[in-house]
C-alpha cells in the first residue's frame, strides 16, 4: 500500500524572493535597477539595490578623498531611488532595500548576492570599451553560474 499526497498548485510562490540589482550611477545600471524593480513588483520579491564602493589604495596615496566621494555617490543613488519610488507610489509598490559593499564590482556583487541570498542578479551592460577585452562584471557573473543573471543594455 502506498501513501498518496495531494499536489496543490501554489500561485505566486515559485518565483524569486530576492532580486539583486547592481548600481554604480551609470545610465545602464539605473536602467537595470528599473528593470529589476519591475521584476520584483511582478514577482512580489524584495529588490535589493547594491552599490559596491571601490577601495582604491592608490587614491589615498594621491590624497584623494576616495571614501568620501564614494559615500556621496551612494547617498545620491539612494536619493534617486527614493525619488523614483515616491513618484510611483500607489501605482507600483515595490519592497526595496539599499546596500553598500566595499571592494571591486565583481567580488562585491558576488558577496552581496550570497549574503542577501539572491535568487537573481540584474546588472547594466558595461559602458567601458576595455571590458570587451578583459571581460565585464556581467560576463564574470554569468560565468560564475551561481544565479540567473540579467544584463540590461
pLDDT above 70: percentage of residues in the chain: 69
Going by their DSSP bridges, the two strands 95-102 and 46-53 should be labelled as parallel
Residue among 102, 47, 103, 50 nearest 77 (CA): 50
Residue among 77, 70, 69 nearest 27 (CA): 77
pLDDT in tens, 32-86: 999 999 999 999 999 999 988 877 655 454 545 555 666 777 777 777 777 766 6
DSSP 17-53: SEEEEEE-SSHHHHHHHHHHHHHHHHHTPEEEEEEEE
Amino acid at each position: 500500500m502506498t501513501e498518496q499526497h495531494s499536489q496543490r498548485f501554489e500561485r505566486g510562490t515559485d518565483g524569486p524572493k530576492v532580486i539583486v540589482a547592481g548600481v554604480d550611477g551609470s545610465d545602464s545600471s539605473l536602467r537595470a535597477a528599473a528593470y529589476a524593480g519591475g521584476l520584483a513588483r511582478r514577482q512580489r520579491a524584495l529588490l535589493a539595490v547594491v552599490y559596491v564602493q571601490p577601495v582604491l589604495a592608490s587614491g589615498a596615496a594621491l590624497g584623494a578623498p576616495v571614501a568620501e566621494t564614494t559615500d556621496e555617490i551612494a547617498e545620491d543613488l539612494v536619493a534617486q531611488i527614493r525619488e523614483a519610488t515616491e513618484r510611483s507610489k500607489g501605482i507600483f509598490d515595490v519592497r526595496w532595500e539599499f546596500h553598500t559593499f566595499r571592494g571591486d564590482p565583481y567580488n562585491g556583487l558576488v558577496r552581496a548576492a550570497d549574503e542577501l541570498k539572491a535568487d537573481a542578479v540584474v546588472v547594466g551592460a558595461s559602458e567601458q570599451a576595455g571590458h570587451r577585452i578583459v571581460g565585464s562584471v556581467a560576463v564574470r557573473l554569468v560565468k560564475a553560474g551561481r544565479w540567473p543573471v540579467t544584463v540590461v543594455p
